[in-house]
């Protein structure tokens, strides 16, 4: 009997160690996402130069940058032989922005990424707190403003289909930032090179800026 109890205790300890090891590996040791597994978000324009804008719904600098600098001037930017990609980041499952990022990924399956993304930024900008905007119920209601298959969208959104990918992709993005590139939102990349500005004799990430300044930097880079 004692041997049987001892065996049960050993098996229980092994099970606990296995679960703990899985938790630590998942949450603290993220493997880089293989290039062939990176999800391709919709792009605007067909120019050969890529302008990637990294945003976070919870960052008011990112929201202002999108609503005041990028979105109203998309057509002007596209004239630089550019295509635009918006990369949405959310650092933790508990962040209010996390379900919103899931939702735009699901909308992307129906080529409605840009429409829902624009609604989310406008709603977040006008809200007292984004926690009120990005509840599960409100996200579904907002998604109905976009013409797409709601059954397909909700099945995707209410699942965990993109959870791990978004989490890993976000963590990888932050971990790859250099020390002088934090906090990371908004960040703008032209052909995979982060755009910077000279401040106090230092080259710092561009962050929020006016369209004229952004356009001047792009024009200089493309010469």
- Domain map (residue ranges) of the chain: 37-222
Where do we find the tokens 């356009």?
Answer: 215
pLDDT tens for residues 44-85? 999 999 999 999 998 899 999 999 999 999 999 999 999 999
The class (CATH top level) of 37-222 is alpha beta
Cα distances from 25 to residues 19, 30, 105, in angstroms, run 10, 7, 25
10-residue mean pLDDT profile of the chain (223 residues): values are 58 58 46 48 90 92 95 95 94 87 95 96 89 93 97 95 89 70 76 85 82 94 90
């Amino acid at each position: 009997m004692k041997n049987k109890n001892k065996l049960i205790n050993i098996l229980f300890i092994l099970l606990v160690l296995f679960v703990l090891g899985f938790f630590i590996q998942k949450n603290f040791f993220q493997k880089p996402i293989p290039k062939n597994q990176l999800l391709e978000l919709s792009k605007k324009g067909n120019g050969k130069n890529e302008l990637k804008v990294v945003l976070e719904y919870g960052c008011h600098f990112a929201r202002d940058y999108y609503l005041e600098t990028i979105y109203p001037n998309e057509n002007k930017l596209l004239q630089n032989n550019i295509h635009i990609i918006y990369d949405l980041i959310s650092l933790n499952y508990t962040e209010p922005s996390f379900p919103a990022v899931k939702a735009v990924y699901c909308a992307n399956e129906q080529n409605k990424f840009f429409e829902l993304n624009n609604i989310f930024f406008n709603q977040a900008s006008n809200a007292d707190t984004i926690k009120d905007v990005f509840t599960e119920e409100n996200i579904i209601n907002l998604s109905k403003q976009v013409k797409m298959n709601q059954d397909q969208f909700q099945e995707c959104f209410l699942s965990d289909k993109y959870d791990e990918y978004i989490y890993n992709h976000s963590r990888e993005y932050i971990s790859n930032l250099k020390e002088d590139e934090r906090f990371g939102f908004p960040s703008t990349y032209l052909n995979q090179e982060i755009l910077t500005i000279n401040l106090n004799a230092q080259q710092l990430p561009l962050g929020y800026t006016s369209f004229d300044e952004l356009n001047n930097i792009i024009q200089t880079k493309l010469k």
